[in-house]
Amino acid sequence: MTTPLYCAEAARRDYAQRLAERFQLPLLSRRPTDGYWLELGAERLELVTTGKHGAVYAEFVEGAARHRREQGGGRGQPVAKAIGLKGAKEIPSVVDATALGRDSFVLASLGCHVTLVERSPVAAALLFDALDRASSHTDTADIAARMVLVHANAIDWLATLAEADKPDVVLVDPMFPDTDKKSAAAKKDMQAFQQVIGDDLDTLALLSAALAAARRRVVVKRPRLGPAIAGIAPSAVLDGKSTRFDLYSIKALNSSPAA
């Protein structure tokens, strides 16, 4: 199902047109009366629906992003530890292969260059708009400059990388049908995205593409008690309160004896 775009701000029609073309979103001349749609207002692009809950958008400047930027715990944050940033001599380059954006922003704010690969046109358009706003704000412009958005399926995109362009780390955090429903209910944004984007059912192919592209490690974010992707045992596990990171070390994989 395609999610359309409605421009509620006459002065932003050109930008709406660019978004529609870039992310292949049908551009509506009237606000829909049901379902989900993207709405461009004076301030930002939002994912909107009738009744159920308020608008959802990507945000790198204010709110939770500001809090994490200012009080977030630096390299001690779980995702930073998971990619090996804590104690690292050199800052690893990262491809976020499932980039709804929050993890990417944390890593970019800690100095990583992050390529955000997102296949959903809705999520990619929201990310594009959030990055656009972050680029023009003094507090976040330098962080946004370390983030590059690619609208593609990461399974295909990772396979096109030349040897010299391969990242140190690939981060994978797919939408799972088995996501903890209680915590999902608490997060209205994830609920909305789950409705519009749906579950990611090709995670084994994504893990394989990630393992073939990463130089040092693949990091898979999972619900704390969820199974590993396709039951493939990681080389190490980092447990958090509600989330777990499964770490696949490329060195360990390459040195393990052939089956």
Give the three-state DSSP class for 190: helix
Of the candidates 94, 114, 119, 129, which one interacts with ligand SAM according to CB under 6 A?
Answer: 119
Ligand-binding site membership of 173 (annotated): yes
Q: Does 118 interact with ligand SAM (rule: CB under 6 A)?
A: yes
Q: Does 123 interact with ligand SAM (rule: CB under 6 A)?
A: yes
Ligand-binding site membership of 216 (annotated): no
Q: Which is nearer to ligand SAM, 160 or 254 (CB)?
A: 160
Cα 224 to Cα 242: distance, rounded to the nearest angstrom? 5
N- to C-terminal Cα separation, the chain:
43
- 10 Å CB burial of residue 210 (0-12, 13-18, 19+) is buried
Ligand-binding site membership of 129 (annotated): no
The residue count for binding ligand SAM (CB under 6 A) is: 20
Question: Quick one: angle between helices 13-23 and 121-135, nearest 10?
Answer: 130
154, 115 in Cβ contact below 8 A? no
211, 205 in Cβ contact below 8 A? no
Q: Does 243 interact with ligand SAM (rule: CB under 6 A)?
A: no
Which window, 47-55, 97-105, 227-235, 236-244, contacts ligand SAM (CB under 6 A)? 97-105
Task: Identify the bridge partners of residue 116 per DSSP, sorted by sequence position.
Answer: 96, 149
Q: β-strand 5-7 against 36-40: which pairing, if any?
A: parallel
Ligand-binding site membership of 119 (annotated): yes
CB of 185 vs ligand SAM, minimal distance in Å = 15
CB of 134 vs ligand SAM, minimal distance in Å = 14
Q: Which parts of this chain interact with ligand SAM (CB under 6 A)?
A: 97-98, 100-103, 117-120, 123, 153-155, 173-175, 197, 200, 206
